[in-house]
C-alpha cells in the first residue's frame, strides 16, 4: 500500500507526517530512533486502517518550536492533531518513547481514542531511585545499546559513511531531541504513574521477549499499572518489535483490536 508523506501544521507547528491505508484511523507514534525502519510495519498495519505517522517535534523533518519542551507538550500537540483532523475511534499505537507519549495522551483526554497499544513503552519508574529500570543510553556505547535493544543486531547497524548529509542530520536531531525530552529524569515522568487510573480504554502492552534495554519484567509492571491492560510478548524481538517482527506485531495489534471490548464496556469492567 502506497505511503504518502507531507506536512501538516498543528498549533503553529509544522509536522512531518506519513499516511498509508484507508479506513479506521491508526495513530502510530515512533520511538526515540525516529521513523527508521518503520515503513515495513506501517505497510503491515495499513491493511487494518489508515495509519497516520507523524515525526515528533525535533525528530525527522519536524521543527521543535520553543513552546514544546517535554513529552507533556507533545501529548497536547497530538491531541490537537486528532481534533484538527476530526479523527474518531482512533487506535493509538506507540513504541518506546512514542508509547510514553501515547499514555500521556490517554490520561489527558481519550474521547477520540478507542483503544491503545503500547510497544515496549518507557515513561514510568518502578524501581528504587538509585536503580535504573531502563539501560542508560548516554552511559553506554552504541555497540552495547545494539546488543541490549536488538534480537537481530544486523538491523541496527548504520553505514554512516554511506549516509547523505540529510540522513546524518536526522540521526543527530533524533539523538538531540531524545536528550531534551528524556534526559532528566531519565526516561520517565514521576507524575505519570499516579495518573494511570484515568485510562479507561482497552490497552495492550506488547513486549519483545529479548528486550534487554527495558526487560519484559518492566513491561509486566507496566501492564499491571494500567487498569485492565493485557500483556503479550513478541518472540524473536528486542526493544523494537515493530522493526524486527513487523508482521507479528501488526497481527497482534489487529487481533487485540478485533477482540477488545468497547471503551464504554471497558470502563464498566474497570
What one-character-per-residue DSSP string does 213-225 give?
SS-HHHHHHHHHH
pLDDT of 269 > 80? The answer is no
Spatial separation of the C-alpha atoms in residues 98 and 83, rounded to whole Å? 19
Domain positions in the chain: 3-269
CATH architecture observed for domain 3-269: 3-Layer(aba) Sandwich (3.40)
Task: Write the pLDDT tens digit of every residue in 180-219.
Answer: 999 999 999 999 999 999 999 999 999 999 999 999 999 9
Say how far apart CA 239 and CA 258 lie, in whole Å. 25
pLDDT for the residue 154: 86
pLDDT at 265: 45
- pLDDT tens for residues 65-90? 988 999 999 999 999 999 999 999 99
Band (270; pLDDT cuts 50, 70, 90): very low
Is 70 exceeded by the pLDDT of residue 161? yes
Is residue 268 classed as helix, strand or coil in its secondary structure? helix
Return phi, psi of residue 178, to 5°: -60, -45
Q: What string of DSSP letters covers 175-243?
A: HHHHHHHHTTTTTB-TTGGGGGGG--S-EEEEEETT--SS-HHHHHHHHHHSTT-EEEEETT--S-HHH
pLDDT tens readout for residues 92-131: 999 999 999 999 999 999 999 999 999 999 999 998 877 8
Q: What does pTM read for this prediction?
A: 0.94
Q: Please give the Cα distance from 96 to 82 (Å, whole number).
A: 21
Tell which wins on pLDDT, 119 or 263: 119
Amino acid at each position: 500500500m502506497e505511503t504518502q508523506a507531507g506536512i501538516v501544521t498543528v498549533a503553529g507547528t509544522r509536522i512531518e507526517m506519513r499516511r498509508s491505508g484507508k479506513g479506521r484511523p491508526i495513530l502510530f507514534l515512533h520511538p526515540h530512533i525516529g521513523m527508521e525502519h518503520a515503513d515495513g510495519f506501517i505497510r503491515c498495519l495499513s491493511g487494518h486502517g489508515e495509519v497516520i505517522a507523524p515525526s515528533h517535534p525535533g525528530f525527522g523533518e519536524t521543527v521543535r518550536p520553543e513552546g514544546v519542551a517535554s513529552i507533556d507538550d507533545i501529548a497536547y500537540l497530538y491531541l490537537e492533531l486528532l481534533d484538527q483532523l476530526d479523527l474518531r475511534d482512533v487506535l493509538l499505537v506507540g513504541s518506546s518513547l512514542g508509547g510514553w507519549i501515547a499514555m500521556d495522551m490517554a490520561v489527558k483526554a481519550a474521547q477520540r481514542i478507542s483503544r491503545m497499544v503500547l510497544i515496549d513503552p518507557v515513561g514510568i519508574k518502578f524501581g528504587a531511585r538509585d536503580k535504573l529500570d531502563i539501560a542508560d543510553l548516554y552511559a553506554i556505547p552504541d555497540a552495547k545499546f545494539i546488543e541490549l535493544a536488538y534480537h537481530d543486531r544486523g538491523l541496527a547497524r548504520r553505514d554512516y559513511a554511506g549516509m547523505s548529509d540529510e540522513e546524518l542530520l536526522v540521526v543527530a536531531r533524533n539523538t538531540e531531541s531524545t536528550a531534551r525530552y528524556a534526559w532528566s529524569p531519565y526516561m520517565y515522568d514521576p507524575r505519570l504513574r499516579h495518573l494511570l487510573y484515568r485510562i479507561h480504554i482497552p490497552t495492550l502492552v506488547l513486549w519483545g521477549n529479548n528486550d534487554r534495554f527495558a526487560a519484559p519484567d518492566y513491561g509486566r509492571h507496566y501492564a499491571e499499572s494500567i487498569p485492565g491492560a493485557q500483556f503479550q510478548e513478541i518472540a524473536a524481538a528486542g526493544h523494537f518489535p515493530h522493526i524486527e517482527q513487523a508482521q507479528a506485531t501488526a497481527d497482534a495489534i489487529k487481533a487485540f483490536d478485533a477482540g477488545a471490548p468497547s471503551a464504554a464496556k471497558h470502563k464498566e469492567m474497570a
